[in-house]
Amino acid sequence: MKTKVSFFVLFLFIAAGVRAQSKTQTGIASYYADKFVGRTTANGEKYSHHKLTAAHKTLPFGTKVRVTNLENGKKVIVRINDRGPFVKGRIIDLSKSAARKLDFIEKGLAKVSVEVVK
pLDDT of residue 3: 62
Q: Does 4 reside within a domain?
A: no
Q: What is the CATH number of the domain that holds 75?
A: 2.40.40.10
pLDDT digits (tens, 9 = 90+) for 86-105: 999 999 999 999 999 999 99
Instruction: Give the number of domains in the chain.
Output: 1
Domain of residue 42 covers 25-116
SS (H, E, C) the chain: CHHHHHHHHHHHHHHHHHHHHHCEEEEEEEECCHHHCCCECCCCCECCCCCCEEECCCCCCCCEEEEEECCCCCEEEEEEEECCCCCCCEEEEECHHHHHHHCCCCCCCEEEEEEECC
**Higher-pLDDT residue of 5, 88:** 88
Q: Does 3 reside within a domain?
A: no
Q: Does 52 reside within a domain?
A: yes
Q: Helices in the chain by DSSP H: which ranges? A: 2-22, 96-102
- Region 76-83 average pLDDT: 98
Q: Does 9 reside within a domain?
A: no
pLDDT of residue 1: 59
Q: Round the average pLDDT of the chain to a whole number and report it.
A: 88
pTM (two decimals)? 0.79
Identify the band that residue 10 occupies on the pLDDT scale cut at 50, 70 and 90: very low
